[in-house]
C-alpha cells in the first residue's frame, strides 16, 4: 500500500519536471524512476564545429602545375652482404708473393685434427723467373706462404744458375710430397710432420729445358753438382734431410722451415760417391785382334797334356802302396 506521504512525494517530483519533459512526443517516464537508483538520461551536448582549412594564398602556383613530391631514395640493403664478415686482410707474405714471382693463388685455411693444417696457405703452381719464364711445380704444392716464397727464391736464384752452368735452363721441379696430414716418416703415433703443417716440400728431381732430368740423389750425377745443391738448400732451409739421414730419404730431399730454439738447423745429406763398376756376369766379346780359333787350337795341341807330364815326372806307384791297408780293430 502506498502511504499518503509517499504519494505527496511523487506529486512533488512530478511538479518539479521541466516543461520540455512533459511534451506530448517525449517518452513517458515514471516520476519515481530517480528515487530507486535508476540513472536519469544525461543531457546531450551540442556537436562541436569542425575547423575548416585556411584559404589558399594568392601567390600559390596553379593547381595544374604542381608535381607530387618525390619520395626519398632509400638504398636497398642486402641482408646477406650485411651478415657476411669482412674478409681477412692479406699478410705481408701474400702481398709480396705477386704474379711476377710465382703463380700461387691463395687457398682456404685448413684446421685438421691434432694441429694438422695451417693458415695463410697458397697453391704453388709455378715459379716465375726474372725473364718471365715459368718453372712448373709438378704437381702443384699446397704450402704456407712463407715456405712457398722460400722455394720460389731458391729456384729463381740458385737453381737458375745451376741450369745455366749445364748449358740449359730449368723447366720444372719434381714435387714428391707437400701438404699431407700425417706423422713423421708416416709412422703411426709419431709426432706431426712438417708436411702436416704445410711447411715442408720433398724434391726428387729438377728438369731442364733440354730434356735432361737431374735426380738429386742419383750417384751418377756429378758429385760437384750435388754438393752445390746441398750447400744452397742448407743455407736457406732449417731442415734438410737426404740420403744417409734416417733411411727414409734415400730417393728424395726433404726441405722445411721448422722453427727451433736459437734458430737451430739440421742438414743431413750424404753426397755419396758413384758406385764402383761391377764386373759383368757374361764374358767379354772376343777381341778383333785375337788370332783365329784354328790357330789357337793347334798351338794348344802342341803342348803336352798336364796329366801326361805329371805322370812322367812321378814314379809309378808300387803294388804295396797301391793296396789299402787293413784297419786294426
Is the pLDDT at 217 greater than 70? The verdict is: yes
200 domain residue, yes or no: yes
- Give the model's confidence band at 164: pLDDT under 50 very low, under 70 low, under 90 confident, else very high: very high
177 domain residue, yes or no: yes
**pTM confidence score:** 0.60
State how far the Cα of 142 lies from the Cα of 180, in Å rounded to an integer.
9
Task: Give the residue carrying C-alpha cell 712448373.
Answer: 136
252: left (phi over 0), alpha (psi -120 to 50) or beta: beta
Rounded to an integer, the average pLDDT of 170-180 is 96
Is the pLDDT at 322 greater than 50? The verdict is: no
- Give the model's confidence band at 155: pLDDT under 50 very low, under 70 low, under 90 confident, else very high: very high
Rounded to an integer, the average pLDDT of 25-30 is 53
Provide the grid cell at 78: 642486402
State how far the Cα of 212 lies from the Cα of 104, in Å rounded to an integer.
26
224 domain residue, yes or no: yes
Structural domain for 130, as ranges: 92-268
Whether omega before 284 lies within 30 degrees of 0, making that bond cis, reads no
Rounded to an integer, the average pLDDT of 116-125 is 96
pLDDT for the residue numbered 329: 47
pLDDT for the residue numbered 20: 45
Is the pLDDT at 71 greater than 50? The verdict is: yes
CB 185 within 8 A of CB 248: yes
CB 256 within 8 A of CB 238: yes
Q: pLDDT, tens digit, for every residue of 241-285?
A: 999 998 889 999 999 999 999 989 999 999 998 877 776 677 778
pLDDT for the residue numbered 320: 47
pLDDT for the residue numbered 144: 97
State how far the Cα of 9 lies from the Cα of 16, in Å rounded to an integer.
11
292 domain residue, yes or no: no
Is the pLDDT at 98 greater than 60? The verdict is: yes
Rounded to an integer, the average pLDDT of 133-146 is 97
CB 198 within 8 A of CB 144: yes
| DSSP tag of 158 | I
CB 102 within 8 A of CB 126: yes
pLDDT for the residue numbered 103: 97
Rounded to an integer, the average pLDDT of 11-23 is 51
Rounded to an integer, the average pLDDT of 286-299 is 71
- Give the model's confidence band at 131: pLDDT under 50 very low, under 70 low, under 90 confident, else very high: very high
Taken as a whole, the chain contains a residue count of: 329
172 domain residue, yes or no: yes
Is the pLDDT at 238 greater than 90? The verdict is: yes
State how far the Cα of 201 lies from the Cα of 239, in Å rounded to an integer.
11
Q: Between 70 and 91, where is the model more confident?
A: 91
Least confident of 33-42, 60-69, 146-155, 234-243: 33-42
Q: For residue 192, count other CB atoms closer than 10 A to its CB.
A: 15
pLDDT for the residue numbered 289: 83
Domain count, the chain: 1
Rounded to an integer, the average pLDDT of 122-151 is 97
- Give the model's confidence band at 161: pLDDT under 50 very low, under 70 low, under 90 confident, else very high: very high
218 domain residue, yes or no: yes
pLDDT for the residue numbered 58: 79
253 domain residue, yes or no: yes
Range list of H helices, the chain = 4-16, 79-83, 92-96, 145-154, 160-165, 223-236, 293-302, 306-313, 319-322
Q: Between 89 and 121, where is the model more confident?
A: 121
CB 185 within 8 A of CB 223: no
10 domain residue, yes or no: no
Amino acid at each position: 500500500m502506498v502511504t499518503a506521504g509517499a504519494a505527496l512525494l511523487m506529486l512533488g517530483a512530478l511538479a518539479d519536471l521541466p516543461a520540455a519533459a512533459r511534451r506530448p512526443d517525449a517518452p513517458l517516464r515514471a516520476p519515481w524512476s530517480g528515487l530507486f537508483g535508476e540513472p536519469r538520461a544525461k543531457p546531450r551536448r551540442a556537436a562541436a564545429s569542425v575547423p575548416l582549412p585556411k584559404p589558399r594564398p594568392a601567390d600559390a602556383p596553379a593547381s595544374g602545375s604542381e608535381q607530387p613530391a618525390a619520395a626519398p631514395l632509400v638504398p636497398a640493403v642486402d641482408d646477406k652482404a650485411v651478415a657476411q664478415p669482412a674478409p681477412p686482410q692479406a699478410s705481408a707474405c701474400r702481398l709480396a708473393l705477386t704474379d711476377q714471382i710465382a703463380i700461387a693463388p691463395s687457398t682456404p685455411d685448413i684446421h685438421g685434427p691434432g694441429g694438422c693444417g695451417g693458415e695463410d696457405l697458397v697453391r704453388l703452381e709455378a715459379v716465375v723467373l726474372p725473364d718471365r719464364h715459368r718453372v712448373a711445380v709438378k704437381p702443384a704444392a699446397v704450402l704456407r706462404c712463407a715456405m712457398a716464397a722460400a722455394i720460389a727464391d731458391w729456384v729463381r736464384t740458385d737453381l737458375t744458375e745451376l741450369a745455366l752452368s749445364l748449358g740449359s735452363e730449368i723447366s720444372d721441379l719434381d714435387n714428391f710430397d707437400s701438404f699431407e696430414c700425417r706423422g713423421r716418416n708416416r709412422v703411426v703415433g709419431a709426432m706431426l710432420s712438417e708436411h702436416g703443417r704445410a711447411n715442408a716440400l720433398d724434391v726428387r728431381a729438377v728438369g731442364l729445358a733440354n730434356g735432361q732430368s737431374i735426380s738429386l740423389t742419383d750417384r751418377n750425377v756429378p758429385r760437384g753438382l750435388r754438393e752445390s745443391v746441398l750447400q744452397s738448400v742448407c743455407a736457406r732451409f732449417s731442415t734438410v734431410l737426404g740420403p744417409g739421414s734416417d733411411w727414409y730419404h734415400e730417393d728424395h730431399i726433404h726441405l722445411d722451415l721448422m722453427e727451433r730454439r736459437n734458430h737451430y738447423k739440421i742438414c743431413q745429406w750424404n753426397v755419396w760417391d758413384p758406385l764402383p763398376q761391377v764386373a759383368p756376369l757374361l764374358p767379354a766379346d772376343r777381341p778383333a785382334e785375337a788370332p783365329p780359333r784354328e790357330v789357337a787350337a793347334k798351338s794348344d795341341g802342341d803342348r803336352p797334356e798336364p796329366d801326361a807330364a805329371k805322370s812322367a815326372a812321378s814314379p809309378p806307384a808300387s803294388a804295396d802302396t797301391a793296396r789299402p791297408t787293413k784297419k786294426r780293430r
